[in-house]
Amino acid sequence: MGQLHRREVDIGLALLFISRHWLEIIDLTAPYTSETMCFMTRTEPPLPHWQALAFPFHQWTWLAVLVGIIVSGPLLFLLAWASGRCGGELKSLQSFNYSWYYAFGMHLCETHTCLPRSTSTQIFVLFLWLYTLILTSVYSANLKSFLLVKKEPAMMDTYQDLYESGLEVATLGKLLKDGFSLSSDPYVKGLARVFQWYGTQREIMPLVLEGEAVYLVNRITADYLIMNKYTRRGVSRIRTMKEKYATYSVAMGLQQHSPLKRKLDQLMGWIRQSGLVRKFFLDALRLDASLRKDGGGGEGSARGQEDESREDGVIPLTIDHMQGVFLITGVGWACSVVSIIFEKYVWSV
C-alpha cells in the first residue's frame, strides 16, 4: 500500500478487497473475483468409543427403557402374588427379588427354566418377552454401527454458537474489525469484543488447533489450508463454519489516477468471465499436492504407508472399539467389591 501510494510501483497484486479504506490512498481495478470471509475452527475429535453403548437410543428412549425395567419386576411380582393367593403360581415368582431379576433377565434376552403357571402371569410374560425381543434386537443392530463408526460431537456453525463459546476471533490486520462493531446482528457485534489481529498466519494457526480461537480468513485460503496442510487420510484437523461472515470483491491495486486502469479493467473482465481464477487455484492445489508427495518422508508418504497396511474392506474391532464393554465389567467388579465390604463390615454390625 505504501509503495503504491508513494508511486514507487505501478501495480500491487494481493488479496485486496474493494473498500473505501483502500480507495482513499490508491486506485483499484475492476474485480477479477470475489471472496467470502469464513470462520476457520478446529475439528473437534470424535466422541470416545465407550459412549457408543448409549448411542443406539435417544435419551428419552433410554428413560422409557429404564422405566420399563423398574416397573416390570414389581408388576410381575404383584400378578404372581395375586395368583399365588389362589394357589396357582410358582412360589419363586411370589418373591419380589426373584420377580425383578426374572424381568431384568428378559431385558437381556436371558432364558428362564421356570415358566409361570397362571394365565394372567403367562400373558404378562408373553408380552414382556415380545417387548424385550424387539428392544434388544434393535439395540444390537444399531450398536454394531456405532462401534465401527465414530460419532462426531455437536459442531459450532453459527454466529450464536461462536459468541457463546467465548473463543477469540483472530485475523490478519485490523481492517475487518469495524465491520463487526457496526453490524446489526447482536452476536456479530458482540464478537468485536474478542476480535484480535495478528501479523502472521503462523501466530494464528496454533491457537486454532488448540481450540482457543477461530481464524477469520477468506475461503480460498481456508480451502488451501484444509486440503494441503491439515488433512490426513481424508480427515481434516480444521474446518469452516457453515455461517459465513461477508463476501468481498477482490481487485488489483494501482497508483491513484493510473493510466493503466482502463486497460486493466478490461483485462479483469476477461479473466472473470473465463473462470481462470478458479482454474489457477485448482492447478496450484494439484501442483502443491504432487510436490509434497514426491518430496518423500512427509505426510503424503506416511499416508500411503498407512493405507497399504490397512486391510481392505475389513475393520477389526480393537480395544478402543470395545472399551465400553470393559468399562462395564470394571464397574461391575468395583460394585461387587464395595458390596462385599458393606456386607462384612457395615450390615453385619
| Domain positions in the chain | 2-48+152-294, 60-131, 316-349
Determine contact, residues 132/106, Cβ cutoff 8 Å: yes
Q: Model confidence over 41-70: pLDDT tens digits?
A: 888 877 777 777 788 888 888 898 899 888
Report the alpha-carbon distance of residue 162 to residue 164 in Å, rounded: 6
Q: At what angle do helices 59-84 and 119-148 cross, to 10 degrees?
A: 160
What's the confidence (pLDDT) of residue 348? 59
Cell numbers linked to 332: 461391575
What's the confidence (pLDDT) of residue 295? 56
What's the confidence (pLDDT) of residue 296? 44
Q: Model confidence over 20-34: pLDDT tens digits?
A: 878 888 999 998 888
Residue type, 206: P
What's the confidence (pLDDT) of residue 306? 42
Is 113 buried (19+), middle (13-18) or exposed (0-12) by CB count in 10 A? exposed
What's the confidence (pLDDT) of residue 104? 86
Domain 2-48+152-294 in CATH 3.40.190.10? The answer is yes
Report the alpha-carbon distance of residue 230 to residue 236 in Å, rounded: 6
Report the alpha-carbon distance of residue 100 to residue 186 in Å, rounded: 55
Residue type, 53: L
Q: Which among 115, 135, 113 has a CA at the least distance from the CA of 124?
A: 115
Q: What is the pTM of this model?
A: 0.56
pLDDT band of 86, cuts 50, 70, 90: low
What's the confidence (pLDDT) of residue 310? 47
User: Residue 334 pLDDT > 50, yes or no?
Assistant: yes
What's the confidence (pLDDT) of residue 254? 92
Report the alpha-carbon distance of residue 78 to residue 93 in Å, rounded: 9
User: Residue 230 pLDDT > 60, yes or no?
Assistant: yes
Average pLDDT for the chain: 81
What's the confidence (pLDDT) of residue 313? 55
Q: Model confidence over 94-152: pLDDT tens digits?
A: 888 888 888 888 888 776 777 788 888 888 888 888 888 888 888 888 887 777 777 67
What's the confidence (pLDDT) of residue 264? 92
pLDDT band of 301, cuts 50, 70, 90: very low
What's the confidence (pLDDT) of residue 87? 65
User: Residue 93 pLDDT > 60, yes or no?
Assistant: yes
pLDDT band of 311, cuts 50, 70, 90: very low
